[in-house]
Copies of this chain bind each other. A is one copy, B any other.
Amino acid sequence: MSEAFNPLVASERARKAGQYAVLGAEQPLKLDCGAELGPFTVAYQTYGRLNAAKSNVVLACHALTGDQYVAGTHPVTGKPGWWDLVVGPGRIIDTERYFVICANVLGGCMGTTGPAEVDPATGKPFGLSFPVITVADMVRAQAMLLDHLGIGDVFCVIGGSMGGMQALQWAATFPERTFAAVPIAAAARHSAQNIAFHEVGRQAIIADRDWHGGDYISHGTRPHKGLAVARMAAHITYLSEQALRRKFGRRLQDRSNLSYGFDADFQVESYLRHQGSTFVDRFDANSYLYITRAMDYFDLAADKGGRLAEVFTGVKTRFCLISFTSDWLFPTADSREIVHALNAAAAKVSFVEIVTDKGHDAFLLDEPEFHGTLSGFLNGAARERGLG
């Protein structure tokens, strides 16, 4: 870790560099856990212009370690936004046509209130006293942001992975406000295997003595080693065996022979170490705990006895589901289950499985067939919406 990374400083920079709203001051947000949160801050970015009819809003929802910087250059990392390939002038989500909003999720660490934030009640960082939040809580906070911006319904809610969970949750919680929803590489419930991988990551963070029971900010430390291990484990799951073989195979890193030691002999080791060490420069360890927990808790039909079709009964939202053949974190079967439920609920739904070896991360990458599918669906929905 660079000593420089401080989630509070990063949050402050993100707010100053972009936009934020203080919400819930009068009417706090009721969380699924029973606690109330307010006032709280949501940091967000917008791209393009809201039309007069306020009918051209695209709400882009980010994944576990993403943030509101969906396009352009990220002011903290200096890198392109997570979906810069897709969002921008003349791109698939054309910011000359749509008004794109992307908000850092509740519990995040890029300006939206999360566990690194100072608790106004104590004057100290929340740490583990921050309430456990859910994907539904994230979505309710986004709805409060839209209220604040004077926006009623959204043309399209779109996102991959946890962003796809949010798109599904929008259609379930606010069907009247969701004209179209595009859940990509997502699932209606987090699987046992995915919970297991998240638990490994959490235990890696908690095992780091610099975590200090979650109170590391007060101690002037950061559990960067544990967080790096968590990221390394997770990163493997975002790729595919085929992609790892193609990109790295057993090729050695900067050497012609095995070192017979524990250095990063193999390129794949060096790559993973790099993923771990750069991640800790931009992400807060407690946010990682909270957001993985929110994903683990995600089970859209839990209060319908598992009957997913009932969640979508009468929903008028147009859905487009997309999965990737080599995604083993959110395999096609997970998307297909949602499609079946939507069919049973007589909802409007398209479904495309994209053939690729790039694994779960394919939704962030240059995948022409995927981009063509997105483009086709959005254009059709825009015509139905009367967007020129």
Contacts and interface: CB of A to CB of B under 8 A. Distances in A.
A25 interface: no
A192 B268 contact: yes
Given A232-B203, A250-B299, A262 B128 contact: yes
A296 B260 CA distance: 11
Contacts of A260: 32-34, 131-132
Main secondary structure, interface of A, reads: helix
A204 interface: yes
Nearest to A267: B192
Interface string A151-177: 000000000000000000000000000
A199 to B, nearest CB: 5
A250 B195 contact: yes
A244 B293 contact: no
Contacts of A247: 192
B296 A266 contact: yes
Number of copies of this chain that the complex holds:
2
A241 interface: yes
A324 to B, nearest CB: 16
B199 A268 contact: yes
A193 B260 CA distance: 20
Nearest to A244: B192
A190 B289 CA distance: 32
A132 B260 CA distance: 5
Contact of A196 (B195, B204, B236): B236
B132 A197 contact: no
Q: Interface residues of A toward B: which range?
A: 35 or more
Contacts of A208: 207
A191 interface: yes
Contacts of A258: 297
A249 interface: yes
Interface string A179-199: 000000000011111011101
Interface string A1-41: 00000000000000000000000000000001110000000
A279 interface: no
Interface stretch (A221-229, A338-346, A376-384): A221-229
A164 to B, nearest CB: 18
A216 interface: no
Nearest to A269: B199
Interface in A195-215: 195-197, 199-200, 202-204, 206-209
A118 interface: no
Interface in A215-268: 225-226, 228-229, 232-233, 236, 239, 241, 244-245, 247-250, 258, 260-262, 264-266, 268
A64 interface: no
Given A193-B245, A204-B204, 20 more contacts: A128-B262, A132-B260, A192-B241, A192-B249, A193-B239, A195-B250, A195-B269, A196-B236, A199-B268, A200-B232, A202-B262, A203-B229, A203-B273, A204-B207, A207-B208, A207-B225, A233-B233, A241-B328, A250-B299, A266-B296
**Top 5 closest pairs, chain A to chain B, by CB:** A207-B225, A33-B260, A192-B244, A132-B260, A199-B269
5 contacts: A34-B260, A196-B269, A197-B233, A207-B225, A209-B209
